[in-house]
């Protein structure tokens, strides 16, 4: 909002051309008429006398806000071994895909292990785990392998491969358990995507909780959660065959677990025994639930 050059003006700012353009935006945002003036060595912003006090106040508040330095979240040394965890993830999904496709042991693996809202009850709890390793076809499997390696690898760098994959499995199974309770009758779902979005949520929740304690603008503090939710909306929705509810619940369970880890300042132990042990527990849990599924799921 410019003024005529012959108005009786009061200079409220002097500085470089770039700084003048930046501070002019403040006056424009407050609907304060101003004139940009070129001086010998720098640039200036001038206003009519009746706006001078208001303009100086707005510019001073902007200077104070601008001077506040953003705090930086504590630097976390990344874990090694993310590749080993990713290889384990790929091997598990490929083995289950082969066994299900070949109907190994003469069993219908999908009937035994899929999330099926029509089969409720405590004796069906294993489906929350087994369904995470089943896939409807090669394209479904390949997509979850790709995105799972990326999201799981990042979680492995944050928590260590064993703890990360065990956490992802638990969060994914928790989401499937909720889905079994609230999904409409007849709803069936399979796929590691619920666990993949749990991994995304874990990363978002952990970083979000860390940033909430920093003195910075709300947008910076909430950025991890906003970014995670944006990826969820971009990748987690699709055709009628996409398990949107499972993706959403997986993300929310991951956010909750990541928040708890960050809130509790969970020790990021670099003990190889802990990481290997957690990885073994994850494999045993999945193997054990498949054992129960094949014995009881087709009964």
The string of pLDDT tens digits covering residues 89-107 is 999 999 999 999 888 888 8
> Tokens for 246?
């499972």
- In the predicted model, is pLDDT for residue 74 greater than 70? no
Looking at the DSSP bridge assignments, the partners of residue 15 are 43
- Taking residues 56-63, report their average pLDDT: 89
If you write DSSP's letter for every residue of 17-80 in order, what string do you get? Answer: HHHHHHHHHHHHHTT--BEEEE-SSSEEEEE-HHHHHHHHHHHHHHHHHHHSPPP-PPP-PPPS
% of the chain exceeding 90 in pLDDT: 41
- Taking residues 178-196, report their average pLDDT: 84
**Tens-place pLDDT, residues 119-132:** 655 558 889 999 99
**Tens-place pLDDT, residues 38-57:** 887 788 999 989 999 999 99
In terms of pLDDT, which residue wins out, 20 or 235? 20
Rg (CA), the chain: 28
Q: Read off the pLDDT band of 69 (50, 70, 90).
A: low
Q: What is the pLDDT of residue 83?
A: 93
Give CA–CA dist 175/59, Å, rounded: 50
Q: What is the pLDDT of residue 42?
A: 86
Q: What is the pLDDT of residue 275?
A: 93
Give CA–CA dist 28/21, Å, rounded: 11
Q: Is 81 left (phi over 0), alpha (psi -120 to 50) or beta?
A: left
Instruction: Give the Å distances, CA to CA, from 199 to 18, 240, 258.
Output: 43, 23, 9
Residue intervals in the chain for CATH 3.30.70: 10-67
Give CA–CA dist 180/112, Å, rounded: 14
Q: What is the pLDDT of residue 67?
A: 65
Cβ atoms of 114 and 181 within 8 Å: the answer is no
The CATH architecture assigned to 82-297 reads: Up-down Bundle (1.20)
Residue intervals in the chain for CATH 1.20.1540.10: 82-297
Give CA–CA dist 199/81, Å, rounded: 17
- In the predicted model, is pLDDT for residue 282 greater than 70? yes
Of the candidate ranges 76-80, 141-145, 213-217, the one whose mean pLDDT is the lowest: 213-217
Looking at the DSSP bridge assignments, the partners of residue 10 are 47
- Taking residues 146-163, report their average pLDDT: 94
The class of domain 10-67 in CATH terms is alpha beta
* Mean of all residue pLDDT scores within the chain: 85
Instruction: Give the Å distances, CA to CA, from 89 to 99, 110, 152, 286.
Output: 16, 19, 9, 12
For residue 198, count other CB atoms closer than 10 A to its CB: 37
Q: What is the pLDDT of residue 243?
A: 79
Angle between helices 138-159 and 82-101 (to 10 degrees): 150
Q: What is the pLDDT of residue 121?
A: 53
% of the chain exceeding 70 in pLDDT: 87
Give CA–CA dist 130/289, Å, rounded: 6
Q: Read off the pLDDT band of 232 (50, 70, 90).
A: confident
Give CA–CA dist 283/273, Å, rounded: 15
Contacts of 159 (CB under 8 A, 6+ apart): 79, 167, 261, 268
Q: What is the pLDDT of residue 298?
A: 61
Q: What is the pLDDT of residue 53?
A: 92
Give CA–CA dist 27/51, Å, rounded: 10
Q: What is the pLDDT of residue 155?
A: 95
Q: What is the pLDDT of residue 288?
A: 95
- In the predicted model, is pLDDT for residue 247 greater than 60? yes
For residue 283, count other CB atoms closer than 10 A to its CB: 15
**Tens-place pLDDT, residues 195-225:** 999 999 999 999 888 887 776 666 777 788 8
What is the DSSP pairing of strand 188-189 with strand 43-47?
Answer: unpaired
């Amino acid at each position: 909002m410019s003024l005529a050059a012959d108005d009786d003006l009061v200079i409220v700012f002097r500085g470089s051309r770039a700084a003048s353009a930046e501070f002019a935006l403040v006056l424009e945002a407050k609907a304060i008429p101003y004139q940009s003036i070129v001086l010998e060595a720098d640039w200036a912003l001038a206003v009519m006398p009746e706006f001078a006090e208001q303009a100086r106040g707005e510019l001073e508040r902007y200077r104070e806000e601008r001077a506040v330095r953003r705090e930086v979240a504590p630097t976390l040394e990344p874990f090694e071994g993310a590749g080993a965890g990713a290889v384990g993830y790929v091997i598990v999904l490929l083995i289950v895909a082969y066994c299900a496709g070949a109907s190994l042991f003469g069993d219908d693996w999908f009937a035994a292990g899929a999330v099926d809202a029509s089969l409720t009850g405590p004796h069906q709890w294993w489906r929350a785990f087994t369904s995470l390793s089943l896939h409807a076809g090669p394209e479904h499997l390949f997509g979850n392998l790709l995105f799972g390696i990326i999201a799981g690898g990042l979680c492995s760098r944050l928590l260590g491969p064993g703890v990360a994959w065990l956490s992802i499995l638990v969060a994914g199974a928790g989401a499937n358990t909720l889905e079994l309770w609230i999904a409409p009758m007849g709803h069936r779902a399979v796929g590691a995507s619920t666990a993949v979005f749990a991994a995304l949520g874990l990363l978002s929740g952990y970083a979000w909780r860390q940033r909430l304690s920093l003195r910075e603008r709300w947008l910076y503090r909430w950025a991890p959660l906003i970014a995670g939710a944006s990826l969820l909306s971009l990748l987690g929705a699709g055709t009628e065959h996409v398990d949107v509810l499972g993706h959403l619940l997986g993300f929310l369970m991951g956010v909750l677990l990541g928040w708890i880890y960050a809130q509790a300042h969970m020790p990021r132990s670099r003990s190889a025994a802990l990481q290997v042990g957690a990885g073994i527990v994850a494999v045993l849990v999945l193997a054990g639930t498949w054992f129960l599924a094949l014995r009881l799921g087709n009964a």
